[in-house]
Amino acid sequence: MSSFETVAYGPERREDYLRLLRDTRGGGGLSGEEFDWWFERNPTGPKLMAVAQDDGRVLGVASHTPYRVRIGGEVRLVTASVHAGTEPEARGRGIFRGLEERNEREAAAAGAAATIAFASKATQWIFLGPLGWTEIGRLRIWARPLRPRPRQREVEEVEFGPETDAVYEAAAREWGSHVVRDAGFLRWRYGDSPWGYRTLGVRREGRLAGFAVLRDKLHRGKPVSILADLVVRADEPRATRALLRAAAAASARESQALFALPQGRMRFAAAGFVPTPLSLHFVAKSLQPDIAMPSDPAAWHVTLGDTDFF
């Protein structure tokens, strides 16, 4: 491993962080507004951000975002490895590994039970090799082609609060391990986001039965929509179909396809979704001796909104 040092991120490195994300993602990355939203306003806990430098020059950046995750029925602090980048000419020097090791140590010291990530082709061998992470699985992304259709009358826009909390608690009884979706978290992740999410809800006999969170974006230059989250009461299964129809209708005006990670493949297939070649490589690592991370994908409830790029 070539000589460099890893240090805690400070605000004086903000522009370096933004530049590296932009330069290593083909002009993508985060805007200043997106950066502040993601790192400064997360209500869960302290941000863990690290910088690799050599003689004062920033060579790489990486972070862990804190989430509250229900693992085996118990809510624990878990971090997610996110928003990393390394200067192209510094690759091969162990930059990402060094940053990740620092963030894992800091996360463990802060009491985090585990850490999770969606590994890229460039990082998967580092996670599963020298860093000692566990592969949970490759989660297939499905899509539904879209065509214009009337807006669903039974659907309404909803705000995150006591009603969505009640839906989440009723839905989570049948979920595996998952990021806790209470109103405080959802307001940060979706409501306050510069990414322009929309939240649609369905009622049954006056009670909110479920809600879906949508985002429009460009994927490889084409307009698409993302089903970032779908939360439906366990005792209102028919609301899933209504919300999937509503999501397609709400997205069809601007987008060519609606992408999702299906929870209940038969219901998604019945709603016109089909598997795509795209998948997310889900990996995890325990940071405390009392935690055994579920390694079966079926033991997890994961959505596209759990990532840092959808």
Q: How confident is the model at residue 27 (pLDDT cuts 50, 70, 90)?
A: low
Q: Output the pTM of the full model.
A: 0.94
C-alpha pair distances (Å), 279 with each of 83, 139, 213, 214, 268: 19, 5, 20, 19, 16
In sequence order, the 6+-apart residues with CB closer than 8 A to the CB of 8 are 49, 50, 51
Q: Which residues contact 281 (CB under 8 A, 6 or more apart)?
A: 118, 119, 120, 124, 135, 138
Tell me the pLDDT of the chain averaged across its residues: 93
CA-to-CA distance for 55 and 39, rounded, in angstroms? 26
Quote the CA–CA distance of 104 and 68 in Å, as a whole number: 16
Whether the per-residue pLDDT at 29 is higher than 90: the answer is no
In CATH, what number does 141-278 get? 3.40.630.30
Report the percent of the chain where pLDDT is more than 70. Answer: 96
Assess whether the region 5-132 and the region 141-278 belong to the same CATH fold.
yes
* Residue 21 vs residue 293, higher pLDDT: 21
Chain segment 233-255, per-residue pLDDT in tens? 999 988 999 999 999 988 877 78
State pLDDT tens for residues 107-153. 999 999 999 999 999 999 999 999 999 999 999 999 999 986 666 66
Q: How confident is the model at residue 41, as a pLDDT?
A: 94
Give me the mean pLDDT over the 270-298 stretch.
93
Query: Residue ranges per domain, the chain?
Result: 5-132, 141-278
Task: For domain 5-132, give its CATH number from 3.40.50.620, 3.40.190.290, 3.20.20.70, 3.40.630.30.
Answer: 3.40.630.30
CA distance 259 to 97: 31
Q: What is the pLDDT of residues 57-71, one digit of tens each?
A: 999 999 999 999 999
pLDDT of residue 1: 47
